[in-house]
Amino acid sequence: MFDPAPRVAAGVLGFDIGGANIKAATDAGQSASIFFPMWQRPNELAESLVAIARQLAPCDCWAVTMTGEMADAFYDRQVGVKHIAQQTILAADEVGCHDVRFYSVEGRFLTIDEVFSHPDRVASANWHALSLWVAQDIDSPALLIDVGSTTTDIIPISPAAVSTTSQTDFDRLVASELVYIGGGRTPVCSLVNHLPFRGKNVPVMREVFATTDDCALVLGWSDESPEDRMTSDGGPRTIAAATNRLARMIGLDHRDITLDDARAIASSVVDSASAIITTAISSQPVSHRNRWILSGHTAEYFLSASLARSSAIRVERLADRLGSQLSRVGPALACARLASQSQQPFQITGESS
């Protein structure tokens, strides 16, 4: 397990505020995660942060990273960063926390005033926080490969350092360090041009009828959750409903398709996604490619076949070190632990607008 360093506060609460989920962890190892559709409810963020904070042990410091500024509720990243930062300050004030810091891609924490002056520095920086923290404790050089519901991060790390000059999402896309594929929200039509069906190779309908989550459901990689209707059609997260959604990708519906047919379709989608991710990995430095640190709850969906083919790759899973719950909130935990090591005194210095 990672050991927390001496703290600068009586407990640090880390937040990873995304466009679809809010994840939180204390430096002592408590965690929480909730679904939060930023694109629908941006003005309810503070309320949700307060609710999470009150689930966990009181902390004198909040350490925050974000990707939610990309939500289409915001005109641009600057607007999104400022909104999220201000909502965070409101929430911290509500629970009596006056030490709030925001992680930047330079590897240090910024005050709220610095965030408002330089918002791009904290935009989508959660990958850097996780990488820097992991690099301090795990043998490297290596690739930290973090696969979530929406994206895949492929980050070269060296001893106690993040080995990339990339800072923005644009930089990382160009460098194949960010692949917009995940195990939950990625549309099937973005991954394949054709799908197999009973000996035919059928062109797909280019509509968001189904996602990679539907593939995971029919393949048995994800548990059913009938009450969860955050699916492409608003239907339940069940195998039957997922089968119907996948059938629609080729102009059919549940009356025309069996579960075995759906599994063949899902496997084809996963194979395509895996090939894209594997190509991105192969473009990383040779010195890093034979050691993988796997993070994220959907990494095995796309990488198990690659690992089975190559005995030369040494693999470590963060879930084995941290447990499944903490590994799922990795960037939040990283922020909490990094802040607990920091010697910077932080205080809210005034209102920003």
Instruction: For residue 25, give the DSSP letter.
Output: E
pLDDT of residue 351: 37
pLDDT of residue 349: 32
Domains 12-128+324-341 and 188-273 share a fold: yes
The amino acid at residue 295 is: S
Give the span between the Cα atoms of 64 and 140, in whole angstroms. Answer: 26
- Write out the two tokens for 220: 């048995």
Using a 10 angstrom Cβ sphere, with 0-12 exposed, 13-18 middle and 19 or more buried, the burial of residue 191 is buried
pLDDT of residue 342: 77
SS3 121: helix
pLDDT of residue 353: 34
Using a 10 angstrom Cβ sphere, with 0-12 exposed, 13-18 middle and 19 or more buried, the burial of residue 234 is exposed
Cβ of 158: how many Cβ atoms within 10 Å? 15
Residue ranges of E strands in 148-231: 152-158, 161-162, 178-179, 194-197, 200-203
Task: Divide the 353 residues of the chain into consecutive groups of 10 and give the mean pLDDT of each group.
Answer: 45 96 96 94 98 96 97 96 98 97 96 97 96 90 94 95 94 97 96 98 98 98 94 97 98 98 98 96 95 91 86 91 92 96 49 36
Cα four-point dihedral sign 67, 70, 72, 77: positive
CATH of 188-273, one of 3.30.70.20, 3.30.420.190, 3.40.50.300, 2.40.160.60: 3.30.420.190
The CATH code for residues 12-128+324-341 is 3.30.420.40
Global pTM value: 0.90
pLDDT of residue 9: 47
pLDDT of residue 165: 94
Domain ranges of the chain: 12-128+324-341, 188-273
- Cα dist from 336 to 94, 108, 303, 331, whole Å: 20, 12, 29, 9
C-alpha 350: how far from chain center? 31
Give the span between the Cα atoms of 199 and 159, in whole angstroms. Answer: 50
Total H helices, total E strands in the chain? 12, 14
pLDDT of residue 10: 67
pLDDT of residue 2: 44
Give the span between the Cα atoms of 265 and 260, in whole angstroms. Answer: 9
141: cis peptide before it, omega within 30°? yes
Strands 161-162 and 178-179: unpaired
pLDDT of residue 344: 52
CA atoms within 13 A on the CB side of 226: 1
